[in-house]
Amino acid sequence: MILRSLRKQTLLASLFCLICSFGLSAKTYQLRLAETWPSKLPLLDDSVQRFAQMAEQMSGGRLQIKVDSANKHKAPLGIFDLVKSGQYDLGHSASYYYKGKVPNTLYFTTMPFGMTAMEQHAWYYYGGGQELMQEVYAPHGLLTFPGGNTGVQMGGWFREEITSVEDLQNLKMRIPGFAGELLAEVGATPVNIPPAELYMALERNTIDALEWVGPSMDLRMGFHKIAKFYYTGWHEPGSENMFLVNRAKFDTLPDDLQAILITAMRVTAFDMYVQATAMSTENWSQMREQFPDIQVRSFPPEVLVALKQANDALLAEHAANDPLAKRIIESQQQYLEKARAYTLISDYGYLETTKDL
């Protein structure tokens, strides 16, 4: 069945390229994309580069996308403005980086104690999440689409072991999004630092701890050479990046190129999750072998309870102050409740019942 479907898609793509070769629609459209990530950053820049290649191949060369990394445009956390202003046609970033500019962007990357990657994708594509995200970004002339998930992210690298809530007092930690707000509620000091500056900040004691992604990305960054306590996740159970699209520019594209662009983004979102899983598999094996002093820890129940209480209180406060935030939060919570009921009897049920075999 899968092979037949792939053959059909290949045949349709070949037919489309044949039509293009006869000159029925030969105009070339050139788009510029700004990404938050440095060039050649595994997984993130990888995925954006493949996206550009895919769009060009699927369009028979009619859609060409030039990718500028943070090294080029010098505004890693400014992708929102770059695309909104029309300086770039497309962007690749993470929605929660822009909560200070548009508060409701916060909810569309990941939420503490929230949905896993597959639960979140189901919410986006079939549970109303995509429509809510578009509603947040539309007033700014932007379209947004899921841009690739890194899966459950690790809870971070710490120089010192966390044994109680008191250990978080005045702890300076790089952690973005809603999770940063929760840590602030229990006494820590969250900071947001661009990816290229993380290692130096940890090495120079500018921060005491940080979270980045997981073994897929952390091995290359070298954090384990400085901080040996590696904590399991709670704050980003399914971290979704995003594509930003300038709506005015998008509307100038022919219908078929709009469809190709959207399809390439959707394939990229899936492929990043697959690559992240593969990279974490390989890198964690390597880290365990080469750096046996890494100590994996889970936060004590006392800490997780305090964070969950802060989470519930802040969500209630956000919902009370903003009708759109209330709709987003309720949509996520309701979908999580339904999706998790199935996840527990499927994925978790399988893992739990077979782990000791």
Shared domain for 246 and 110, answered yes or no, is yes
Split at pLDDT 50, 70, 90, the class of 2 is very low
pLDDT number for residue 291? 92
Domain coverage including residue 225 = 153-235+292-314
Residue 21 has pLDDT above 60, yes or no: no
CATH code assigned at 142: 3.40.190.170
Quote the Cα angle for 257-258-263, to 5°.
95
- Residue that is written with structure tokens 């059909």 in the block: 8
In a domain, 196, yes or no: yes
Same domain, 128 and 18: yes
327 lies in some domain: no
**Residue pair 152/116 in contact by the 8 Å Cβ criterion:** yes
Q: Is residue 75 part of a domain?
A: yes
Question: If you write DSSP's letter for every residue of 9-74 in order, what string do you get?
Answer: HHHHHHHHHHHHHTTSS---EEEEEEESSPTT-TTHHHHHHHHHHHHHHHTTTSEEEEEE-HHHHS
Same domain, 66 and 103: yes
- CA–CA separation, 262 and 247 (whole Å): 13
Per-residue tokens: 221: 């960054």
pLDDT tens-digit map of 58-93: 999 999 999 999 999 999 999 999 999 999 999 999
% of the chain surpassing 90 pLDDT: 89
Q: Is residue 228 part of a domain?
A: yes
Query: Pairing relation of β-strands 209-210 and 156-158?
Result: antiparallel
How many folded domains does the chain comprise? 2
Q: Are residues 95 and 192 in the same domain?
A: no
Give 203-219 pLDDT, tens digit per residue.
999 999 999 999 998 99
Q: What is the pLDDT of residues 147-169, one digit of tens each?
A: 999 999 999 999 999 999 999 99
Q: What single-letter DSSP state applies at residue 211? A: -
Burial status of residue 194 (CB atoms within 10 A of its CB: 0-12, 13-18, 19 or more): middle
The answer, yes or no, to whether residue 13 has pLDDT greater than 60, is: no
Let me know whether 81 and 132 are in one domain: yes
Mean per-residue pLDDT of the chain: 92
Q: What is the mean pLDDT of residues 260-286?
A: 96
- What torsion, rounded to 10 degrees, do the Cα atoms 16, 22, 27, 28 define? 60
Q: Would you state the pLDDT for residue 25? A: 54
Residue 356 forms part of a structural domain: no
Same domain, 107 and 163: no
Per-residue model confidence as pLDDT tens digits over 219-232: 989 999 999 999 99
Max CA distance (Å), the chain: 70
